[in-house]
Amino acid sequence: MGICINSMGLYGMNAYPVQVEADTLRALPSFDIVGLPDASVKESRDRVRIALKNCGYEFPATKITVNLAPADVKKSGPLYDVPIFLAMLCITGQLACGDLSDSAFLGELSLDGSVRPVNGVLPMAIEAKKNGTASLFVPQENAAEASLVSGLNVYGVENASQLIAHLLGHRLLTPTLPEAGSEESTDAFLDFADVKGQTAAKRALEIAAAGSHNALMIGPPGSGKSMLAKRLPSILPDMTFEESMEVTQLYSVAGLLGQDSGLVKTRPFRAPHHTVSPAGLSGGGSIPRPGEVSLAHHGVLFLDELPEFSRSAMEILRQPVEDGTVTISRASGTLSYPCSIMLIAAMNPCPCGYFGHPTRPCTCTPNQVTRYLSKVSGPLLDRLDLHIDVQPVEFESLSSTQKAESSTEIKKRVDAARKIQNHRFAGSGIVSNSRIPAAKLSEFCPMDLSAQKLLKSAFEKLGLSARAYDRIMKVARTIADLDGSETISNAHIAEAIQYRSLDRKYWQR
Ligand SMILES: Nc1ncnc2c1ncn2[C@@H]1O[C@H](COP(=O)(O)OP(=O)(O)O)[C@@H](O)[C@H]1O
Ligand SMILES: [Mg+2]
Ligand SMILES: [Zn+2]
């Protein structure tokens, strides 16, 4: 009689149930795993064999076949060690435990029988619950994330003996309860109060945060661009529970959840180095892991020194930034990860950094400046709603002892503007002003007469593109929301146009 132990599998973010079936034949001793296991699953054989011996059990001297069902889906990773271990014990009559049909097991085994953490436990726990699993046994380090799923008994397991003692009813494990609302990340945010002067740049970032707009900061070295960007998460609205769950699942799949960590509550801020590969940005590997764009989901992807990034890295960002999801194709199929992000980029205007500086001369040739700027492609530039001219900090502001406005104050205004947007877009599937589809612009962005006139004349005088028009409308919408105004006025339009004027200062000299 064969044995069947429930487990789970994962492809991208998609979890599915897996049955670990074992059967034995009186034949020459052998141990095979079938059911599309990859190399990492096949290694389970050796770990399970040695762990059994080290835990004081016999390894059967018969022909053993383990089948991972469904057999037509590729299985990957070491998470089947624990269910295979249990199947071995049951099939050989060394463990007589009761009915396990409403329990599922996952975890990697060390040779000494201790259970090691695996990736993607949260999405698997969610699916296990949906699938009618009552009890889920996971590695102790993953118990906190699994316990986020309500209505599921989660048992954190440290080693095989502990698990067996529980299954035999000798010494019961206590289910892991979700952490009681404790703030898991208390690292004090960097605060905008640390940045002296730079009121214009701060205002622009407030608008970006309020409407979830992408932005580019250009300015000389040392003007505080990196400093400003790092403070952006401190003024973004708090994540909703659903957003937190999505982010936590992505970090779970990527293996980046800290040990014993539960729900991720702070918005991600990812700042990959400019040497990052295109796959590092979009996601990669034979079973692709989430890349930086997805790790920044519901948060900020910061590209510092933008022209230093490879052309291919910038190109690969375009579609995900536009769509909010990234699709990765592999021979084994396609999978997608969400990446609803704010893209924030920073750059110097030229190799020496002082092109356009009010007092310091630029030592670059015009050709060098052009070549440097042209590294940022037009299409990418177009996708950045706000172009922010970061001026050098003046000595007076740096030496001033006056405290600048704190992030908490700025965040209040951002929150208010987001509230207006939530109300406006309720039920429409749109999440922020930056995501208003072109066809809905006139509906959601009513302008008064003076605003219409100003926009028309700006178009004629500045020769703006159709894309620039859309961006100006969306940014003006956010500026009006910050102002608490339903109708967009000419002052709102004028400010929005100002954030599209760097093209002319730098790219269209
Ligand atoms: N506005 C500012 N207020 C306070 N310190 C500043 C400001 N701008 C720059 N600094 C100081 O200069 C350093 C360099 O700033 P940084 O953000 O790296 O500039 P950038 O990225 O524009 O080259 C910061 O770490 C900070 O100490
Ligand atoms: Mg910098
Ligand atoms: Zn220069």
Per-residue pLDDT tens over the stretch 334-391: 889 999 999 999 999 999 999 989 899 999 999 999 999 999 988 888 889 999 999 9
Ligand 1 touching residue 271 (CB < 6 A): no
Ligand 1 touching residue 224 (CB < 6 A): yes
Look up residue 1 and give its DSSP letter.
Answer: -
| 227, 391, 397, best to mutate for ligand 1 pocket (most atoms within 8 Å of CB) | 227
**Is residue 33 classed as helix, strand or coil in its secondary structure?**
strand
Q: What is the mean pLDDT of residues 450-470?
A: 87
Given a cut of 70, whether residue 494 has pLDDT beyond it is yes
- Tracing tokens 């962005």 back to the chain, one arrives at 445
Threshold 0.75, pTM exceeds:
yes
Question: Biggest alpha carbon distance in the chain?
Answer: 89
Condensed to tens digits (0 to 9), the pLDDT of residues 122-160 reads: 999 999 999 999 999 999 999 999 999 999 999 999 999
Looking at residue 61, what is its pLDDT? 86
Take atom 12 of ligand 1 and give the residue whose Cα is closest: 222
What residues contact 443, with CB distance under 8 A and at least 6 apart?
A: none
Condensed to tens digits (0 to 9), the pLDDT of residues 190-199 reads: 899 999 889 9
271: CA distance to ligand 2 center in Å? 11
Average pLDDT, the chain: 91
Ligand 1 touching residue 493 (CB < 6 A): no
Q: Which of 24-33, 94-103, 147-156, 455-464 has the highest mean pLDDT?
A: 147-156
Distance CA 157, CA 108 (A): 11
Can you list the positions of beta strands (E) in 331-465? 333-338, 342-347, 386-389
Q: Which atom of ligand 1 is nearest to the CA of 195?
A: 3
- Proximal ligand: closest to the CA of 388: 1
H-helix or E-strand spanning residue 279 = helix 278-282
Condensed to tens digits (0 to 9), the pLDDT of residues 225-280 reads: 999 999 999 999 999 999 999 999 999 999 998 777 789 999 999 999 999 999 99
Whats the size of the chain, residue-wise?
Answer: 509
> Percentages helix, strand, coil for the chain, rounded to the nearest 5?
40, 20, 40
Q: What is the DSSP string of 150-188?
A: TT-EEEEESBHHHHHHHHTTSSPPPPPPPP-S--S--PP
Given a cut of 60, whether residue 185 has pLDDT beyond it is no
Alpha carbon separation from 142 to 137, 156, 178, 191, 327 (Å, rounded)? 10, 7, 12, 32, 27
Dihedral sign, CA of 247, 248, 249, 252? positive
224: CA distance to ligand 3 center in Å? 18
**Is residue 296 classed as helix, strand or coil in its secondary structure?**
coil
What residues contact 104, with CB distance under 8 A and at least 6 apart?
A: 6, 7, 8, 17, 128, 133, 135, 136, 137
Q: Which amino acid is at 352?
A: C
Ligand 1 touching residue 348 (CB < 6 A): no
Looking at residue 508, what is its pLDDT? 73
